[in-house]
Structure 1
Amino acid sequence: MSGRLVVCPTPIGNLEDVTLRVLAALREADVVACEDTRHTRVLLERYGVSASLVSYHEHNERARAAELVGRMQEGAVVALVSDAGMPLVSDPGYALVHGCVAAGLAVEVLPGPSAALTALVASGLPSDAWRFAGFLPRKRGALEDVLRSPETVVAFESPRRVAASLAVLASLDPQRPVAVCRELTKVHEEIVRGTAAELAERYASQDPRGEIVLVIGGAPARSEPDPAAVEAVRRLVEAGARAKVAAAVVSELTGAPANALYRAVAT
């Protein structure tokens, strides 16, 4: 067959979760592009797969992608893996897939393990509409925007930042349902479910260990602020007050959400 790319998801913890199709693709590929050749070699040795490996990670992604596209144009079959899960999902691979599409090369994507999907199903939270946020942003404003999503949010988080992110969520909505999914498919797998306030308190004193996926219930629909309160903010702004200051003052007097009041006069 002509040169092509085969995207191969690998186990997120338990090596027995690799699929037969992935193993066949790794055996047949002319070269396997992987984040860490040492990590991938553990999987290959487990199943007796002999393959030629090249590193493909965030630091060499563009240069390596161009090299691999060239090899595929000459007829090579390249298998792409990341250290765990589906390549491109918070892992390297986009530059290579994009390069193949631009060059008219075939891209075959095999199904397989995904930490995001595993956590979503295990969380017990609504899965009819959900958003994958990758790694949660560190800046508070950007983080709050993600946490206000009306859909269920699935996100990766550093164990050292779980408590801080949950504390921000608890300050916005202490009753929001959350699942902290730890070490999925591994020996010490743990799913902890509760409200944002409960879990923020639980992890405030001790960080969880291992790889973490957070699943956060969607934010409740925002109600429109009282028209009288909005009008009060408008009058203060017309009198020369800054919109954010006016919204904060009226919020304190009326109990209406300051953010909602600000949006009402800023739009």
Structure 2
Amino acid sequence: MDASAMARAAAKPSHRIENDNEDGNDIDMNDNRNDDAFWRFSIGFYGQPGVAPRCLELQDRFGIDVNLLLFCLHAGVSGRALQARDIAALEQAVGAWREQVVVPLRGVRRWLKAPPAPFDDARTAELREAIKRIELESERLQQAAMARVMNAVGHDEVAGSASASASTPAPAPAPAPAPAPASASASATNLARYLATLMPTLSADATDTLAALLHTAHPQAPAAAHAAALRQAFAIVTSSPQDPTA
């Protein structure tokens, strides 16, 4: 995921994701294709201070799919408890797309930061910006597919939390605090179920970074409380070979 493009999208009132060259070939966030709640949540959340570098650290160090991470948080904030079967359905739906489309585009974009000497720097930079826009569009398509998968299977609401429908208006750049502690707990459990598919143990570094993101999504509780909730949820989810809520 490209941090600069997502962050600029959150900061601009017009909701346009612009490249650094300001050449007019922008992604218009007012396009009707982008009207789902998950995408709008991602744009707003990703633009919060410290979120982009933390997401990229989790992506590069621990192999976490940032779109799946964001979906876990979005679901929790919306009062939705994801089950193991939901995580599996999401991964089955978008895993090949991520590996065959998103990851290769990311690799090309990053490689073009330092092109070989014989290549023209300015024209190479233009190519990189074009690839950046395509990469972001591939992320948007992945998110749209994820939303369709989850809309098709229904969901479990968390008791005591307020559920946000797919037609909820776009949030302000800062996501609204969860209305009840149950919502923050749902986000931690959602993340734990996803993380359990990637790693046998939860490192201290990963826990601290994830807790900071949970605090951004649910600022009514300190990061330390989120870290404890995440560790507890991960221990429960991984305590038996079969998640009892699968």
Q: TM-score range by the shorter chain?
A: under 0.3
Q: TM-score, normalised by structure 1?
A: 0.23
Larger Rg: 1
Q: Which protein is richer in strand relative to its size?
A: 1
